[in-house]
Amino acid sequence: MNTAVVSEDAQVVVRPLSAHTGAEISGVDLSRPLTRSQIKAIRNALLEWRVIFFRDQFLSHEQHVVFSAQFGELTVGHPVFGHVEGHPQIYSISKFRKETRFEGEPLRRPWTGWHTDVTAAVNPPYASILRGVTIPPYGGDTQWTNLVVAYEKLSAPLRAFVDGLRGVHRFAPPQGAKGTDAFASAVEQHTLVSEHPIVRVHPETGERALYVSPGFLKQIVGLAPRESQVLLELLWEHVTRPEFTVRFKWEAGSVAFWDNRTTAHLAPTDIFDLDFDRQLYRTTLVGDVPVGPDGRTSVSLEGSPMGAAAAIALN
C-alpha cells in the first residue's frame, strides 16, 4: 500500500518513497503548534522511515525553531561553524558558504561526501531538520541511506565481527583536499574528536545501525592501518548501496527531518556546475551518547558535548 494514515485523529498521512528509506508526510501545518497525536505520528514515521519530508511549509526562522523544539532540545546551529546571526539555533547551508568548503579536488570514491551529522562530537545530534528556501529549478537533490538495513544486510559473520569494533571520528578535509583557512581556523578553535562504536544500538527501538559516517570516521581502533582502511572502505561501499537510499528533490517550502542515529546523507555537488543559488537552513536536536552492542558508550577524545546550553549562551 503506497499511502497510510498513521493516525486517524491526527490526520497525518505518510507516503513511503522507497523500500527502506524515506516517506513524505501530509496533513499537517508545521507553522502551527502540533497536537500530541500529530507529534506521536510524526515521531513514529521518523523511526520507521528514518527520514521524512514535508512540502509547502514556508517557515520563518522562529517557526522553524518552534517546530523543532516540539521534538527535543535544540543545539547551537553548528558546534564548529557557528550559526545565523540573531538565531543561535539555525545553521545556514548555502551554495556559497566558505567555512565548510575545501580547496583542491578530493579523491573521489563512491562514498565521498556521505556523512552523518557531527559524529566527531561525543553526543551527535539525534535528528536534523532542514528547510529549503531558495531552490534551483533542477539539480541540488539530497540523498539519505538507511544504516539499520545496511547492518541487517551484512553477512552474519561480519555482523558479529563489527559488533565489537570502535572507531575514531574527527573533523578533517576529505583525502586529497585541503581545508580553507576559515575551515582550519574553526576546527582549531572547536576541536572535536570522539570514539564511537562501529555498530550503534538505537536508544528507542533497540535496532542496530552501522555507525560508519564516511565524512568523519577516520580509523578503526585496534586494527592495523591497512586492515582499518580495507574494512572501512568495504563498509562505506556497503552502506551507500542504492537500494538502501532515497533521493529527495527539493522545492521552496520543503522540509526534511531525519534520524541522525540511523542515517547518513549526501549533499549535492552538481549545484556548483549551475548558475542558480541554493539556500537552506538547518536545526539540530541534542543527542545521546551512542552505545554499542557490548554496552560500552562512546568517549570524547577532544572537545565538549553538544548541548542546548551552547545555544542559550550564544543568544
Q: Establish whether 117 is a catalytic residue.
A: yes
The percent of residues in the chain predicted with pLDDT above 90, rounded, is: 72
Cα 77 to Cα 21: distance, rounded to the nearest angstrom = 26
| Options 20, 169, 261, 265, the catalytic residue | 265
Res 299: pLDDT: 97
Q: What is the mean pLDDT of residues 47-58?
A: 98
DSSP assignment letter at 78:
B
Q: What is the mean pLDDT of residues 182-205?
A: 81
Cα 53 to Cα 65: distance, rounded to the nearest angstrom = 17
User: Between 207 and 173, where is the model more confident?
Assistant: 207
Strands 12-16 and 4-7: antiparallel
Cα 312 to Cα 315: distance, rounded to the nearest angstrom = 5
pTM of the model as a whole: 0.89
Q: What is the mean pLDDT of residues 140-162?
A: 98
**208-265: pLDDT as tens digits:** 999 999 989 999 999 999 999 999 999 999 999 999 999 999 999 999 999 999 999 9
| Options 43, 200, 208, 282, the catalytic residue | 282
User: Would you call 183 helix, strand, or coil by DSSP?
Assistant: helix
| Options 117, 131, 202, 261, the catalytic residue | 117
Cα 309 to Cα 290: distance, rounded to the nearest angstrom = 20
Q: Tell me the pLDDT of the chain averaged across its residues.
A: 88
| Options 50, 83, 115, 166, the catalytic residue | 115
Res 1: pLDDT: 41
Res 106: pLDDT: 67
Q: Establish whether 115 is a catalytic residue.
A: yes
User: Between 312 and 16, where is the model more confident?
Assistant: 16
Q: What is the mean pLDDT of residues 5-9?
A: 53
The percent of residues in the chain predicted with pLDDT above 70, rounded, is: 82
Q: What is the mean pLDDT of residues 187-207?
A: 88
pLDDT band at 12; cut points 50, 70, 90: very high
**68-102: pLDDT as tens digits:** 999 999 998 666 666 667 778 899 988 765 445 55
pLDDT band at 315; cut points 50, 70, 90: very low
Q: What is the mean pLDDT of residues 191-196?
A: 91
Res 311: pLDDT: 37
**200-210: pLDDT as tens digits:** 999 999 999 99
Asked if residues 284 and 53 have their Cβ atoms less than 8 Å apart, the reply is no
SS3 of 231-247: HHHHHHHHHCCHHHEEE
All structural domains of the chain, each given as residue ranges with its CATH number in brackets, are 4-314 (3.60.130.10)
**103-150: pLDDT as tens digits:** 566 677 788 889 999 999 999 999 999 999 999 999 999 999 999 999
Q: What is the mean pLDDT of residues 304-309?
A: 67
